[in-house]
Amino acid sequence: MPTLRWLTRDDDIRAGESVPYRLLEEVPDLGCGDRDTGNMLIRGDNLDALKALLPFYAGQVKCIFIDPPYNTRSAFEHYDDNLEHSQWLAMMWPRLELLRELLSEDGSIWVSIDDNEGHYLKVVMDEVFGRRNFVTTVIWHKMFSVKNSAQYFSEDHDYVSVFARNKDVWRPNELPRSEKQDAMYKNPDNDPRGLWTSGDFSARNFYGAGTYAITNPAGRVIAGPPPGMYWRFSKEKLAELDADNRIWWGKDGNGVPRLKRFLSEVKGGRVPQTIWQHAEVGHTQEAKKEVVALDANDVFTTPKPERLLQRVLTIATNPGDLVLDSFLGSGTTAAVAQKMGRRYIGIEMGDHAETHCQPRLQKVVDGEQGGISEAANWKGGGGFRFYRLGASVFDETGQIRPDIEFPVLAAHVWFSEVRFPWSKPDPLSPVLGVHDGRAYGLLYNGILGDKSVSGGNVLTRKTLAVIRDALPEGFAGPITVYGERSALSDVSLLHEQITFKQTPYDVKARA
């Protein structure tokens, strides 16, 4: 597959590996409403934040929407949008790799971009996500008016590049039917089944039984379908449909047959199309008005309209799904996700994480009525936790820091062994779980309630018995046990099918 080369590519494609796993530290005063909804607002560089999320959310995110800096060389108030091309690619590559790991198998990623980097982005995403997972490039008609001061063209659109994590599995939801579509349905013959529209009775697909002559109700003989076409149904089926008043011959009964399609029988909605008009999904002015309505002094220059995000989330998610935006800006994705009953994680490194996103999401919890609120019947509720990036989980030599709490160490041990997130049981157990026929145990931080010096962190006959007790019933396979020390001999470990690993030294950061 052709790939893109840029100055620092070789370093950039390995950059994600050297990013430290950091702790996310909650800032309770900045959270709001029901903290246990799972919604997270994180302030920090998204490279660190995405890596911090990995042991807990790998493979869990249904939809990622990001709107990274477009690299347009314009002076922006809130962030440096003036990166060189290589720098921009260097910035995007490791983030896209981490985002891919966070996506669920049936998930998708949507990246808003324009002509400055859009085509480079496509090539890089082909490489990171696999070209076969490319879904489409949506064109968003973002401008309401022509910019007559433009030097060359007045730019009307942005792109949204869409990739599935696995295109064999991912399917888009249909969109609700529009009033315009429904307006095409009429009822000129007062059919008791209600409004209908008619479709061609002939098609190009070869159909052996679809070449007969038809006599219409006015007595005119139609020798056969138009040249190169076939009737869609056999002569017998036509008679059956006609008897059921499902064929339209025109007002005077002298036309070619057409098939009646009743609105009441139309299944589902609308297949999404690739051009999104601002009349349906909003434009840049609308987005700016939305943020100003939240705060009259707002100066955030590049928000997206809520309706645009509503369209993305309608196609890509269902209620309860997890949505991630790691370039959160003014908080649009999170606000829309919440109003649509989805869970969200939003990451923003600028001050506006606190000056825009936090107050906006608090207003949403309080029932804010701008943007899509009316359409989504939003009445308020829910909540979120606010986090900042904390210390790194592993020290300079790659070993886990000894002061880490049991659930954090458990998540990292589990993730480094099996590569997917650990589900924290209630109550906590020294057995983290079983994967591919092997159980994983962790003796750490007094998990056994032992108040002795080593706090039950040593593998002994007694602590092993507690681990065995906590194993799923009937489990007889091998066990990897992490602990401070093992008091069992190598022969006993072999006999017990135990691989012992020492904390903190054997818990290594994995890319």
Ligand X SMILES: C[S@@+](CC[C@H](N)C(=O)[O-])C[C@H]1O[C@@H](n2cnc3c(N)ncnc32)[C@H](O)[C@@H]1O
Q: How far is the CB of 456 from ligand X (least distance, A)?
A: 41
Instruction: For residue 79, state whether it binds ligand X (rule: CB under 6 A).
Output: yes
Show the DSSP H helices in 151-272 as ranges: 179-182, 235-243
- Please state the φ and ψ torsions of residue 237, each to the nearest 5 degrees: -65, -35
Minimum CB distance to ligand X, residue 261 (Å): 39
Binding mask 343-362 for ligand X (x = CB under 6 A): ----xxxx------------
Pick the stretch among 137-145, 342-350, 384-392, 494-502 that binds ligand X (CB under 6 A).
342-350
**Stretch of 133-141, 301-309, 370-378, 503-511 lying at the interface with ligand X (CB under 6 A):** 301-309
Rule CB under 6 A: is residue 440 a binding residue for ligand X? no
Q: Which of 165, 232, 304, 307 binds ligand X (CB under 6 A)?
A: 304
Tokens for 289, please give them: 């008005």
**Residue 38 beta carbon to ligand X: minimum distance, rounded to whole angstroms:** 20
Q: Is 120 in the site for ligand X (CB under 6 A)?
A: no
Stretch that binds ligand X, among 329-337, 395-403, 443-451, 476-484 (CB under 6 A): 329-337
What is the token pair recorded at 188? 């000129």
3-state DSSP percent of the chain in helix, strand and coil, to 5: 30, 25, 45
Least Cβ distance, residue 291 to ligand X (angstroms): 7
Rounded least distance, CB 31 to ligand X, Å: 19
* Positive or negative torsion for Cα 298, 301, 305, 306: negative
| Measured distance CA(71)–CA(33) in Å, rounded | 37
Cα–Cα distance measured from residue 254 to residue 269, given in angstroms and rounded to the nearest whole number:
33
Contact call for residue 6 and ligand X (CB under 6 A): no
The H-or-E segment that residue 203 falls in is strand 202-203
Minimum CB–partner distance for residue 386 and ligand X (Å)? 15
- Contact indicator for 337, 38 with CB cutoff of 8 Å: no
303 in contact with ligand X (CB under 6 A):
yes
Q: Is 78 in the site for ligand X (CB under 6 A)?
A: yes
Q: Which positions ≥6 away from 369 have C-beta within 8 Å?
A: 378
Interface positions, 204-243, toward ligand X (CB under 6 A): none
Residue nearest to ligand X (CB): 329
Shortest CB 343 distance to ligand X, Å? 18
Q: Which is nearer to ligand X, 32 or 160 (CB)?
A: 160
Which residues from 26-55 bind ligand X, rule CB under 6 A?
Answer: 45-46
161 contributes a contact to ligand X by CB under 6 A? no
Q: Are strands 275-276 and 134-141 parallel, antiparallel or unpaired?
A: parallel
In terms of DSSP bridges, do strands 438-442 and 479-483 run parallel, antiparallel, or are they unpaired? parallel
Q: What DSSP assignment string belongs to 85-145?
A: HHHHHHHHHHHHHHHHHHEEEEEEEEEEE-TTTHHHHHHHHHHHH-GGGEEEEEEEE--SS
In whole angstroms, the minimum distance from the beta carbon of 337 to ligand X comes to 12
- Please give the structure tokens belonging to residue 294: 């939240």
Nearer to ligand X, 27 or 434 (CB): 27
Residue 302 engages ligand X in binding (rule: CB under 6 A)? yes
The stretch near ligand X (CB under 6 A) out of 26-34, 135-143, 314-322, 325-333 is 325-333
Among 161, 314, 332, 463, binds ligand X (CB under 6 A): 332
Nearer to ligand X among residue 187 and residue 301 (C-beta): 301
Q: Minimum distance from CB of 451 to ligand X (Å)?
A: 43
Stretch that binds ligand X, among 146-154, 263-271, 296-304, 469-477 (CB under 6 A): 296-304
By CB atoms closer than 10 A (0-12, 13-18, 19+), residue 179 is exposed
In terms of phi and psi (left: phi > 0; alpha: psi -120 to 50; beta: otherwise), the region of 497 is left
Q: How many residues bind ligand X (CB under 6 A)?
A: 17
Under 8 Å between Cβ of 334 and 365: no
Comparing CB distances to ligand X, the nearer of 42 and 125 is: 42
In the complex with ligand X, which residue's Cβ is closer, 58 or 349? 349
Whole-angstrom distance, CA of residue 164 vs CA of residue 358: 30
Quick one: 333 or 463, whose CB is closer to ligand X? Answer: 333
User: Between vectors from CA 460 to CA 458 and to CA 466, what angle results, nearest 5°?
Assistant: 95
The residue ranges that bind ligand X (CB under 6 A) are: 45-46, 67, 69, 78-79, 302-304, 327, 329-330, 332, 347-350
